[in-house]
Amino acid sequence: AGFTRYATRSLLLLSELHKSRGRFREAKSVLMKAHFEEAHSRAALLLEQTAGCLLLAEPPLTRKFAFHLVLAGLRYHQCDQRCLAERCYRQVLDVYAGKTWSLIEEHLHDVLGRYAQDRGDSWKAVGHHMA
């Protein structure tokens, strides 16, 4: 566990170096390597950082950004951080809205509907399940 943390710290520093020089795709690759060995909560944070790099790349890689945020949401869900998972899923709804990827949009609304139902927010739950 100790070695993994030092490796992750080194990779975080390397990704920041790449970002400071405008090399966002390289920073994304470094962060992706770092997330594989981490616990769910740290992996989710690294996936969010990866998604941010994809938006800053030229040209912005919007669909990959959304995909990585969905992965981050899944990792947050796995460590019972539902508020953070919900935030990730909400951020990508607009990216997938109106596209031909109806299964992804359906999955996001299903998950968000279940989260709203668990919170006792019936109106939002129905809204997501009807979308």
Residues 104-118: tens digit of each pLDDT: 889 999 999 999 999
Q: Whole-angstrom Cα distance, residue 82 to residue 29?
A: 27
* pLDDT range class, residue 1, cuts 50, 70, 90: low
* pLDDT range class, residue 96, cuts 50, 70, 90: confident
CA dihedral 2, 8, 10, 15 (to 10 degrees): -170
Residues 7-17: tens digit of each pLDDT: 889 999 999 99
Q: What is the pLDDT of residue 12?
A: 93
Residues 20-46: tens digit of each pLDDT: 999 999 999 999 998 888 889 999 999
